[in-house]
Amino acid sequence: MTALVSTDAALALGDDALVLSHRLGEWAGHAPVLEEEVALANIALDLLGQARILLSQAGDEDELAYLREERSFRNLQLVEQPNGDFAHTIARQLYFSTYQHLLYGELAALEGEFTGLAAKAVKEVDYHRDHAELWTLRLGDGTEESHRRMQQACDALWRFTGEMFQPVPGLDIDWAGLDARWTASVTTILSRATLTVPEGPRTGAWAAGAGRQGLHTESFGRMLAEMQHLHRSHPGASW
């Protein structure tokens, strides 16, 4: 890689972290148990920290977060999905943190512009993955109701998982290999949790790869409206 930072890659990874952090921030004061107030906020903060570093590599973090419109965001559709119930939040965390852990693991081993960030973030992400795995086991192999909800959440979010392995310009990664390792890891966890690996399509639909091109799902615009409103109401102000 050259010394030039790949803006596409920094935005893709940065937007993933920014948007998921925002969704997790919506849980504050609503978690099922106090320990999860702490845990979800903790994960949200880690992700926000990653987002700030990545967006700063691509430009001014606040301009990028607050002044871009929906069509310019490069995050995966998976991370923008509404929180739903706790099972949906955990399924989203399981899918994404497993992906992020594998991806950052590879980036940390490569000599490139993201080596430093990935080496630091991979430790945080390992904790996120661990948290998601534990809750997947508890919910999947807990009560009948929690099993039903967890299965439903895994099924509902499955169609957004193929997009994670669409190549990102500027990232020199074996995407098919990453996909295979992700599938193996998620399959193991779901089966330990007595859950069935969903069977629906993961790629091929219009959705696969769309978020990376600025094509998002409907709830995303509303999320941005809330996130950006105050900043946009005071052009040029500092906070």
Partner 1 sequence: MTGVTATATAAAETGASHQAVFDAAVAADERIEPRDWMPEEYRSSLVRQMAQHAHSEIIGMQPEANWITRAPSLRRKAILMAKVQDEAGHGLYLYSAAETLGTGRDELLDKLHSGRQKYSSIFNYPTLTWADVGAIGWLVDGAAITNQVPLCRCSYGPYARAMVRICKEESFHQRQGFELLLALSQGTPEQHAMAQDAVNRWWWPSLMMFGPPDDASAHSAQSMAWKIKRHSNDDLRQRFVDIAVGQAEALGLTLPDPALRWNEERGHHDFGEIDWTEFWEVLKGNGPCNEQRITQRRRAHEEGAWVRDAAAAYATKQQAQHANGEATA
230: contact with partner 1 by CB under 8 A: yes
Stretch near partner 1 under the rule CB under 8 A, chosen from 49-57, 67-75, 164-172, 201-209: 49-57
The rounded distance, in Å, linking the Cα atoms of 56 and 62 is 9
Give the HSE-up count for residue 145: Cα atoms under 13 Å, Cβ half-sphere: 2
> How many other CB atoms are found less than 10 A from the CB of residue 171?
20
120: contact with partner 1 by CB under 8 A: no
Stretch near partner 1 under the rule CB under 8 A, chosen from 74-82, 117-125, 133-141, 164-172: 133-141
Distance of closest approach, residue 209 Cβ to partner 1, in angstroms: 27
Distance of closest approach, residue 133 Cβ to partner 1, in angstroms: 13
Give the torsion through C-alpha atoms of 8, 128, 166, 120, to 10 deg. Answer: 40
The rounded distance, in Å, linking the Cα atoms of 71 and 216 is 7
Among 84, 142, 214, 221, indicate the residue that binds partner 1 (CB under 8 A). Answer: 142
Alpha helices in the chain (DSSP H): 7-25, 34-58, 61-66, 77-80, 86-109, 115-140, 144-158, 175-192, 218-233
Distance of closest approach, residue 34 Cβ to partner 1, in angstroms: 6
Closer Cβ to partner 1, 197 or 227, answer by number: 227
The rounded distance, in Å, linking the Cα atoms of 137 and 186 is 12
Stretch near partner 1 under the rule CB under 8 A, chosen from 5-13, 155-163, 181-189, 224-232: 224-232
Among 3, 4, 33, 218, indicate the residue that binds partner 1 (CB under 8 A). Answer: 33
**Of residues 116, 24, 71, the one with CA closest to residue 211:** 71
The rounded distance, in Å, linking the Cα atoms of 211 and 200 is 19
Closer Cβ to partner 1, 26 or 155, answer by number: 26
55: contact with partner 1 by CB under 8 A: yes
70: contact with partner 1 by CB under 8 A: no
> What are phi and psi for residue 129, nearest 5 degrees?
-65, -40
Distance of closest approach, residue 137 Cβ to partner 1, in angstroms: 7
- Residue pair 212/79 in contact (Cβ under 8 Å)? The answer is no
152: contact with partner 1 by CB under 8 A: no
| Footprint on this chain of partner 1 (rule: CB under 8 A) | 18, 22, 25-26, 28-38, 41-42, 44-45, 48-49, 51-52, 55, 61-62, 65-66, 85-86, 137-139, 141-143, 145-146, 149, 226-227, 229-231, 234, 236-239
